Chain A
Amino acid sequence: MTNLPSKTIDKAQYIVCVVLVVVGAFLIYDALSLEAGFAKVDPVGPKIFPIAIGSILIVLAVVLAIAIPRGSIGEADAGEDVDPNTPGDWRTVGLLVGLFVAVIVLVNPLGWVIAGTLLFGGAATILGNRHYIRNIVIGAALAVASFYAFYSGLGIPLPAGILDGIL
């Protein structure tokens, strides 16, 4: 008795198709609003590349959409640290993204020191390390050290936020 290999259809790949179409369409739309160049010496002009790339992206999206139900699977990146067979822990990813958004919003008003502490401490805790006090302490140390290092060592002033007078 021969066993037929089961074909797993990875429907989530349609997300890639959607992304490709969106990017491709955007490029084409944006390029159409451009004026043509000096056609004699620049026969290519500024439009052709974006339009070509955009069109090919859409074509690739179609090709992928056809290949997906045929069982085409992209091998998920099995890095040395990753076990791709387990279903993804998207909750953790979502929490990290949310944390990131919070940092983006807070970095200017509250400054790097606070935002950076929040980032490290939050990320370490979300990733599974329970000792959140320890995480925040380490985060604060890193944030303060990097703040001064970048300022005195590299001359880059990171946002100081509400701690402006103190630091």
Chain B
Amino acid sequence: MDNLNWLLQGFEQAATPTNLMYAVIGVLLGTAVGVLPGIGPAMTVALLLPVTYNVSPSAAFIMFAGIFYGGMYGGSTTSILLNTPGESSSVITAIEGNKMAKAGRAAQALATAAIGSFVAGAIGTALLAAFAPAISRFAVTLGAPSYLAIMLFALVAVTAVLGASKLRGAISLFLGLAIGIVGIDFLTGQPRATFGLPQLSDGIDIVVIAVAIFAVGEALWVAAHLRRRPSDVIPVGRPWMGRDDWRRSWKPWLRGTAFGFPFGALPAGGAELPTFLSYITEKRLAKRSGHDAEFGKGAIEGVAGPEAANNASAAGTLVPMLSLGLPTNATAAVMLTAFVSYGIQPGPTLFEKEPLLIWTLIASLFIGNLMLLVLNLPLAPLWAKLLRTPRPYLYAGILFFATLGALAVNVQALDLALLLVFGLLGLMMRRFGLPVLPLIIGVILGPRIERQLRQALQLGGGDWGSLFHEPVAIVVYVLMAILLLTPLVLRLMHRSEETLLVVEDDTDQKEKAAKA
């Protein structure tokens, strides 16, 4: 298989000392920020974007991928030891994991989380290596109309599905699209929304926006609301598991992976939903093995499944990102901006034009995943120590690196002013519950959608009907319509989407009441 050949070449590249070094830096950084609540891989990659200007693309992406996977690992450590999730995807892990820790089984919880994450990451990356090129090859055959439809679908999916309020999702999205307008119109050469500033003719640098929204906005928000209760930390030795724990863990690992990967690959799937589904599935299935009474008190299945799910979803996220150039979560969106800043056009042609880069990245994911397992098992107590850093230093550090990064982009003070303005926007969004992801996706995809639309029309001779000439385009538009209309239909039937999920727990509660 041609792909296998590429993969081996990728391994060759990924195993060079420089790239290995970047992989190690990436996984260590990623775990560290995953451990620290409030700081995440998306923010870290954003802060490191300016560094990418002078480093080779493969090294940079290897580091970013390491940070991405590492973040998932780190989050579980904090969840288990502190009952505070380090990452939003680790919320479920905290439920059983912390209980296990309190019962003196922290070592087992950490072990099952780490090994499960490794298994899921390995399988997920393998699936990525299998599917992404295939999807990419198919996507290349699509014409502009279909590709346009897919991009619009991603936009709609992220806005409409994610988050409780579609109104606010739409607000974020359109603000993002508005930001994307700034710059010179590519077809007519006229400046749009540039305030007469020549520095803005290339648009507002996406790096500045990413750093402003993710880092500065977060830091300002935390500054407004710093919670001041030091938490309980459970001291723990090196993670390990007994034979019984292995037996109870391996199937949840596989099931978790099965949940996580598809959700990660879908726009707006995310990691929270599959971890939740994995948890309730494991709880339901545990009835057969008689361990269900442990749920709520520290059941190892409740850690193994969700942790595998969240790592698998991280791998899944990379599928649309690499094969279609569509980001499905914040970290992927920021990584895409790195592609753009290297002048690499993300999209279906990525596999064709930069095969070595992509396969090196994929190979490095395998390596990074292994590194995470090897490093995290012995180092877990060390990561717990990281939590002693006083938060003023952490957030002052974030502001420092954000400013440094923004300044490094073009060495002009204007970028810092933009950083401040968009940082305040980020603050406003967090205060008023406007989701961040639609905005970033709007900034990234908006100009591309406009370009695709106008090019498609140019190719179609100005005929709007030409947009619907391709079967894939029609199918996607239909799916989009379904996606938009389903909540309305459900509401008309006097149900909401949430009740569909809650129904399961109702039967659960009735059983419990019957037993009592």
Q: Kindly state whether residue A23 has any CB partner on chain B within 8 Å.
A: yes
Binding-face segment, B166-174, B249-257, B277-285, B295-303? B166-174
Indicate if the CB atoms of B192 and A30 lie closer than 8 Å. Answer: yes
Indicate if the CB atoms of A42 and B454 lie closer than 8 Å. Answer: yes
Kindly provide the distance from the CB of A10 to the nearest chain B CB, expressed in whole angstroms: 8
Kindly provide the distance from the CB of A93 to the nearest chain B CB, expressed in whole angstroms: 5
Kindly provide the distance from the CB of B334 to the nearest chain A CB, expressed in whole angstroms: 17
Considering only residues 349-375 of chain B, those with a C-beta below 8 Å from chain A are none
Indicate if the CB atoms of A156 and B413 lie closer than 8 Å. Answer: no
Q: Kindly state whether residue A165 has any CB partner on chain B within 8 Å.
A: no
- In the complex, the chain B residue whose C-beta lies closest to that of A99 is B399
Binding-face segment, B18-26, B150-158, B387-395? B387-395
Kindly provide the distance from the CB of B463 to the nearest chain A CB, expressed in whole angstroms: 9
Indicate if the CB atoms of A12 and B432 lie closer than 8 Å. Answer: yes
**CB contact between B395 and one of A83, A97, A105, A127 (< 8 Å): that residue:** A127
- In the complex, the chain B residue whose C-beta lies closest to that of A129 is B392
Bound-state CA distance A79–B220 (Å) is 13
Bound-state CA distance A54–B193 (Å) is 11
**CB contact between B185 and one of A34, A39, A60 (< 8 Å): that residue:** A34
Bound-state CA distance A44–B40 (Å) is 40
**CB contact between A156 and one of B53, B185, B424 (< 8 Å): that residue:** B53
Given contacts A74-B433, A80-B86, contact A119 B224 (CB under 8 A): no
Indicate if the CB atoms of A93 and B427 lie closer than 8 Å. Answer: yes
Indicate if the CB atoms of B400 and A123 lie closer than 8 Å. Answer: yes
Considering only residues 40-93 of chain A, those with a C-beta below 8 Å from chain B are 40-46, 49-50, 53-54, 56-57, 60, 63-64, 67, 72-77, 79-84, 86, 88-90, 92-93
Indicate if the CB atoms of B193 and A43 lie closer than 8 Å. Answer: no
- In the complex, the chain B residue whose C-beta lies closest to that of A56 is B174
Bound-state CA distance A122–B343 (Å) is 37
Indicate if the CB atoms of B188 and A35 lie closer than 8 Å. Answer: yes
Kindly provide the distance from the CB of B214 to the nearest chain A CB, expressed in whole angstroms: 12
Count residues of B near A (Cβ-Cβ below 8 Å). Answer: 75
Indicate if the CB atoms of A53 and B391 lie closer than 8 Å. Answer: no
Q: Kindly state whether residue A9 has any CB partner on chain B within 8 Å.
A: no
Indicate if the CB atoms of B408 and A120 lie closer than 8 Å. Answer: no
Chain B contacts for A148, CB-based, 8 A: none
Chain B contacts for A114, CB-based, 8 A: none
Kindly provide the distance from the CB of A20 to the nearest chain B CB, expressed in whole angstroms: 7
Chain B contacts for A37, CB-based, 8 A: 187-188
**CB contact between B458 and one of A42, A56, A60, A156 (< 8 Å): that residue:** A42
Indicate if the CB atoms of A127 and B226 lie closer than 8 Å. Answer: yes
Query: In terms of DSSP, what is the predominant structure of the interface of chain A?
Result: helix
Binding-face segment, B8-16, B126-134, B175-183, B233-241? B175-183
Q: Kindly state whether residue A144 has any CB partner on chain B within 8 Å.
A: no
Indicate if the CB atoms of A60 and B457 lie closer than 8 Å. Answer: no
Indicate if the CB atoms of A43 and B464 lie closer than 8 Å. Answer: yes
Q: Kindly state whether residue B453 has any CB partner on chain A within 8 Å.
A: yes
Chain A contacts for B37, CB-based, 8 A: 79-81
- In the complex, the chain A residue whose C-beta lies closest to that of B78 is A80
Kindly provide the distance from the CB of A130 to the nearest chain B CB, expressed in whole angstroms: 9
Chain B contacts for A34, CB-based, 8 A: 185, 188, 190, 192
Q: What residues make up the interface of B, taking CB atoms closer than 8 Å to A?
A: 37-38, 50-51, 53-55, 84-88, 164-165, 167-168, 170-171, 174-175, 177-178, 181, 185, 187-188, 190, 192-193, 218-227, 390-393, 395-397, 399-400, 403-404, 407-408, 411, 413, 416-417, 420, 423-424, 427-434, 450, 453-454, 457-458, 461-462, 464
Q: What residues make up the interface of A, taking CB atoms closer than 8 Å to B?
A: 10, 12-13, 15-16, 19-20, 23-24, 26-27, 30-31, 34-35, 37-46, 49-50, 53-54, 56-57, 60, 63-64, 67, 72-77, 79-84, 86, 88-90, 92-93, 96-97, 100-101, 103-105, 107-108, 112, 116, 119-121, 123-129, 135, 138-139, 142, 146, 150, 153-159
* Top-5 shortest CB links A-B: A74-B433, A81-B38, A80-B37, A127-B392, A123-B396
Q: List 8 A-B contacts (CB under 8 A).
A: A46-B185, A56-B170, A77-B433, A81-B37, A82-B226, A92-B223, A96-B220, A108-B413
List 15 extra interface pairs beyond A49-B177, A100-B403, CB under 8 A: A12-B431, A24-B178, A38-B188, A44-B453, A53-B181, A57-B171, A57-B175, A81-B391, A82-B221, A82-B226, A103-B403, A104-B417, A116-B403, A123-B395, A124-B396
